[in-house]
Structure 1
């Protein structure tokens, strides 16, 4: 076998084509667009290259046939915030051959070690964790856009190599043809009408304002999470620009208290229901097909990609009130039958409780693994931070700032 770093058109094409070969006869698989995957490894398109580096390889058998692939990356904003400097690997695909899989893992590990890393997370993305993150281990059904789909035998490859589960990721499904639980409606309706609180959805004619609102809530809500790093506004602007024509303005909601943003909720139409027909290609004919299927309301599922509430308001039922508004929107769009709430980590019991309170049913599980290069060092799972701890940290921070 021969491992080749991707550096020319031939091997870039081979990297992309391998997934089409691996999942050729699997009706559940929706091939990501080639341009999207290429953009992740292109410094001109991926802002993470401003604070990191990445590369990728393909694996050839003795006859020169591509049988595997993998990428490796270092996000310098986060790498040194763990007990061991930690990089990542991702976009792993391989035939059912353990020797080939281990060679791919060894290659990623070696590249990371050369750059001072002592651990490797995978499979992850060289970007934010809302897309291409985690290994599918349960729920082999059509995945929503951005959620990875894998062969069942990959789990054994990762675990036999020495990867351990760092955290579990759950995706819940919500049947929009059913009513929300009665108790939920009482709380949601009460909060939605409470003085001081207001709610509005995203509008493109005021996009920059909403981008800044997302940043404000995100930085406040996630600041106490381990390995937090601020969100890049240019990444949000890019998503808004590229998603125009697909994004439903009424699927993105904001909550305010006395005019200050305190929560946001982002849901996107699941374009995987169209991408299954395009096989990863977006040439002019497929662009026409995409628009055709979009107009015919082929998309019947949406995916909640992220939801955030600043700690001070996490006991006010703000999430319920947002769902209350969203339900009214969904009633005006009856072709949407299902919502996927993904993903929520096992380290976030608060959000799991919210998803279950609205009637969500756990349908899929992904694992994010961690592999310590020195097996003698103690392995720790991702920490769970109870809501009470976050509130206490916030109080301590406020007291400290007042004293200063």
Structure 2
């Protein structure tokens, strides 16, 4: 018999954090997320999504031992064709009956709150972290990326979940040849005196936050489930990121002083965090600073790429990429870049990634389960 416990006290919170590490104890590629980054998601004081949503965490125990865990939630900003809730932070032993019990529990919890479907595993937050189930490419995960055991795919699909969209991660060696098309585009735009490219600088974050917001809101305004960013919130995010910003790898392009394109990258923090075992107390913070100073990090992660509509299809992508690549080759230790996932519903971004001569090195999947089993299932529409 499986016993359900809502996570409320410190012992239960600790078990929620420790259980995945137990499952992955023999997996050399597992990198444990920092406990603080998990706990912040479930703290109403730190996660804005509690203002318009509800979230609960549960442990599942059998014979006194934890056999699974999950978070189940409603985010009222998550607009879908039918009211759709979410599940995330799912972990389970290799047993379909146990997984089915967990999924049934989530389904019942969501139905009681008027939901008609559930997506998972997703985050009670933005899509940039802890989103999707790894189905191909079981290598060391990037910072903020979900990582799971291969049998999870079977657990989800045997229950009846279907892929709503795939999340593709593209990798490219830094010193591989850049596409001739991009280099031609670079040369064309380089001759235009109005066009310039600049790396992001820590001492001028207000300007770059303003420029980022302007480009993002223009470039992504027409995308599905899109939204407008607020400049103050972007600046706050940049200030939070300041300790890990590398001034050689994030680039902006301007027409005179008007921002028209951006390419935002950060070092893969997991290359340092993997030595901290999920903790980030005083000792770990000192260790992190030493690692950051003396441990080479050869992997960078592409977070955002955007061009304002009036400059799209004019070779600005090639100009920016080749301008930035030439610079970072000289001034950093990075040997590989991986683009944070691109949804298969976004053919424009996939085309840009492919033009960079990248290779798909891992896939994640966002699954959906319709509670009405007679209802026709629809995948995410292209944007």
TM-score by length of 1: 0.90
Q: Does the 8 Å CA contact 2:172/2:338 hold for their aligned counterparts? A: yes
Question: CA offset at residue 192 of structure 1?
Answer: 4.1
1:160, 1:3 → 2: CA distance?
22
**Pairing 1:258-269 to 2, within 5 Å after superposition:** 258-269=256-267
Where do 5+ consecutive residues of structure 2 fail to align? none
**Equivalent position of 2:41 in the other structure:** 40
**The one of 79, 82, 86 aligned to 2:80:** 82
Instruction: Provide Cα deviations, 1:270-300, integer angstroms capped at 9, x if missing partner.
Output: 1111121111111222222211111114311
1:178 alignment partner, one of 165, 176, 179: 176
Q: Compute the displacement of 1:69 (Å).
A: 0.9
Matched residue of 2:188: which SS?
Answer: helix
**Match in the other structure for 2:72:** 72
Match of 2:146 among 142, 145, 148: 148
CA offsets 1:112-146 (integer angstroms, 9 cap, x no match): 22222111111111121111111110001112112
Deviation at 1:234, TM superposition (A): 5.7
When residues 53 and 316 of structure 1 are mapped into structure 2, their CA distance, relative to the original with a 3 A threshold, is farther
1:125-136 maps to which residues of 2 (within 5 A)? Answer: 125-136=123-134
**Is contact 1:89–1:120 with CA below 8 Å preserved after alignment?**
yes
What is the aligned length? 382
- Aligned in 2, Cα 1:115/1:66: closer, same or farther, shift over 3 Å? same
Instruction: Give, in angstroms, the shift of residue 76 of structure 1.
Output: 1.2
In the other structure, the counterpart of 1:223 is 221
Q: Is the 8 A contact 1:266 1:305 kept in 2?
A: yes
Unaligned residue ranges in structure 1 (runs of 5+)? 386-404
Alignment of 1:154-193 (within 5 A): 154-193=152-191
Instruction: Say whether the 8 Å CA contact 1:77–1:229 is kept in structure 2.
Output: no
Q: Please state whether the residue corresponding to 2:292 is helix, strand or coil.
A: helix
Instruction: Give the alignment of 1:4-403 within 5 angstroms.
Output: 4-62=5-63, 64-78=64-78, 81-231=79-229, 233=231, 235-385=233-383
- 1:74-93 CA-to-partner distances (Å, cap 9, x unmatched) read 22122xx3210112111111
Q: Does the residue aligned with 1:245 lie in a helix, a strand or coil?
A: helix
Change (3 A) 1:261 1:74: farther
Change (3 A) 1:292 1:375: same
Using the TM superposition, give the Cα deviation of residue 238 of structure 1 relative to its aligned residue in structure 2, in angstroms. 4.4
* Residues in 2 aligned to 1:333 and 1:109: alpha-carbon distance in whole angstroms: 51
- Mapped contact 2:299–2:335 kept (Cα < 8 A): yes
Q: Measure the CA separation in 1 of the matches of 2:25 and 2:190.
A: 47
- Alignment check: 8 A CA contact 1:199 1:253 kept: yes
Q: Taking structure 1 as reference, are residues 157 and 274 closer, same or farther at Cα in structure 2, changes over 3 Å only?
A: same
Asked if 2 retains the 8 angstrom alpha-carbon contact of 1:173 and 1:341, the reply is: yes
Q: Structure 2: how far apart are the matches of 1:235 and 1:277?
A: 31
2: CA distance between counterparts of 1:237 and 1:111? 37
Q: CA deviation at 1:215?
A: 2.2
- Deviations along 1:349-393, one digit per CA (max 9) or x if unpaired, are 2211111211211110111111111111121111113xxxxxxxx
Please give the secondary structure, in 1, of the residue aligned with 2:264. strand
CA contact (8 A) 2:179 2:355 kept: yes
